[in-house]
Structure formats: structure tokens, C-alpha cells
A and B are shown apart, each in its own frame.
Chain A
């Protein structure tokens, strides 16, 4: 079955860029939408944005100026870059299959990213 795995640094300094990658295994990245969602510890869920396998994207306006999501179909991976981070960006970051008029049916285990000097 399809599985997702996030990878990337767990600690990022303020003003720097957070970079995460999600690897899709057990299936192809093609023909689906792929999203990033985050959750500050003890709080609710916030959709960050999605990428379609073709490369088209859609971002949450609240983060749009700082977010880039890209896809590499040759590696079955998609990635998140969030620039100019602050402590408010400290959260669990999840990758998920969904978006583009579909619910999020498969989730990665999540990775905790802390923004601190």
C-alpha cells in the first residue's frame, strides 16, 4: 500500500528556510494531488498547500509569500520550502495525499520542526 515518509532537519534557525521532502513508496506519485499540512504542538491543523504530479501548485494565502512546493516524479518525491521562518512556524509537518477536491486519505507520520537559534 502507499506510504509517505517525511524527511528533513528538525531544527531551523529563525529567518532561515525550512526544507522538507516527502517520499512516496508503494505506489506512484502520478495522477494525484499531494499536500503539506502542519500542526503546532497541542493545536489544530493548517493546510499549507498542494502540488499536482504535473507540477501545478496551490498555496494557503496566509503562507503564500513564503512557500514553495515542488514535485520530482522521477524520485516519487515532493518537497516543501518555507522561507523566513519564525518561532510561529514550529510545528509537526505532515505530508499527505489529497487536495484538488479530494480528502487527505494517506498521511505520513509527521516530522517535528522547531525554529530556534
Chain B
């Protein structure tokens, strides 16, 4: 199984400031034949299902604010929120869909400082 490790486990950022969450996979999730990274980011608010934010490591899902961006390739990935808003308080998960069993990171809890 591909193990996904996120850092940090929790993060407190001031409103309007940048938030950065990292995700590392135990093996590459880059498929060389199409040069795509099979890595997604999700946001989960209390009492709600996860919501897809980013797929192919850097493609924003329709309707997701442009303050959310994804970067990285191979085994190291980053989710950046450029200017934190109050509604961004949530747990964020990375997930690989390169190979089964699909696996998620342990989650990063983002709070307001």
C-alpha cells in the first residue's frame, strides 16, 4: 500500500495569512505515460462529507475558490491557501488514486490563530 503522510497534524493561521499543508507519499504517484500525478486534496468540515478541492495534484475542482492551490509531483505535494478565510477552518486530507488500495493522509486540522 502507498502510505500518505501529512504535515503538520494541526495548524493555526491568522485570518488573511497563508496556510501550507504538506503531503508525502511512500512511492511516486506520477504516471509517466501521461505525466499526471494521481493526488487529490479534500476539505472536511464538522458533520459534513469530504469535499474535493484539487485533483491531478494541481487542478482546482469547479467552484473551489482560487485561494486554494496545489503543487508538487512524484512523492511530495503541497496544498496552499493563499489568504485564510474563516470558512476554511476544516480538516484537510490528501489522497492517492494511483494504485489500489487508494489511501488517504491522516489529516491536518486547520484553525484560526
Question: By DSSP majority rule, is chain A's interface helix, strand, loop, or mixed?
Answer: loop
| A108 interface residue (CB < 8 Å to B) | yes
Contact-residue bracket for chain B: 20 to 34
B97 contacts A99, C-beta separation under 8 Å: yes
| A78 interface residue (CB < 8 Å to B) | no
A47 contacts B103, C-beta separation under 8 Å: yes
Residues of the A chain whose Cβ atoms lie less than 8 Å from the Cβ of B101? 47, 60-62
B61 contacts A105, C-beta separation under 8 Å: yes
B40 contacts A103, C-beta separation under 8 Å: yes
Sample of 12 further A-B pairs with CB below 8 A, known A45-B50, A45-B107, A98-B97? A35-B102, A44-B107, A46-B104, A47-B100, A47-B103, A47-B104, A61-B101, A94-B49, A102-B97, A103-B40, A103-B97, A104-B42
A44 contacts B97, C-beta separation under 8 Å: no
**30 CB < 8 A contacts A-B:** A44-B105, A44-B106, A44-B107, A45-B50, A45-B93, A45-B95, A45-B107, A47-B101, A47-B102, A47-B103, A47-B104, A58-B100, A60-B100, A60-B101, A96-B49, A98-B97, A99-B102, A103-B40, A103-B52, A103-B55, A103-B95, A103-B97, A104-B40, A104-B42, A104-B50, A104-B52, A105-B61, A107-B49, A108-B49, A110-B49
